[in-house]
Amino acid sequence: MKTVLITGSHSGLGRQLVDKMLERHFKVMPYDIANGHDVLKPDLSWIGKNLDILVNCAGVNRINWLDDVSEDEWDHVMDVNVKGMFLMSQACEQRLRASGGTILNIVSNAAHIPMRASAAYNASKAAALGLTRQLARELAPHVTVFSVSPNKLAGTGMSLDIERQVMSVRNWTKEQARQYQLASLLTGEETPVSVVAEFIAFLLSDKSRHKYLAGCDIPYGA
């Protein structure tokens, strides 16, 4: 039985990935701040020596115009979204080298198409994409590293929080905020979290399905 550690596993895409990987008979190690596991203070003492896959899914977002972004806000977003990814990858490296394993980083469409009033988040996701490509080169061929960049996901805590923040920053109604965000989506709807999770679980369930994605980023959601 292969072992996967998933950060940000308490809710949203991380929670769905836990369920989908369990369905595929993986031993799943949930890792989330809600359960006392901080990506900025990696602790692998409880997972044992065997690890086949690390999924860096933990992330936060803050919506604010450039003039209003505080240094603390900037640091928090960059710390969780980039530094946490770096520290967890570093902490898991030796286990993954031993197993010939995989690191999957959940980035974001914002790394490719920056959102307004999201300087910290956009910068963090662009940095996460750069880190993914660097890790892929440094750890190859022993560890496969790639990323998936979802578009706006339906019903997640982050999506709902983004809507609330957009309403506050722009003084919009909930419907105005929702229509603004849907207007950029080719399907006219947000991507179901379960669909993205199933796609990722399919890729991760067999090394042959993602081995040749080393260094690649897969945008998901129209």
Q: Determine the 3-state secondary structure of 45 from DSSP.
A: coil
Domains of the chain: 3-153+192-220 (3.40.50.720)
pLDDT digits (tens, 9 = 90+) for 28-41: 999 999 999 999 99
pLDDT digits (tens, 9 = 90+) for 180-205: 767 777 777 788 999 999 999 999 99
Indicate which residues carry an active-site annotation: 121
C-alpha 161/C-alpha 184 separation (Å) is: 18
Give me the mean pLDDT over the 199-216 stretch.
98
The pTM assigned to this predicted structure is 0.89
Residue 137 neighbours by CB under 8 Å, 6+ apart: 215
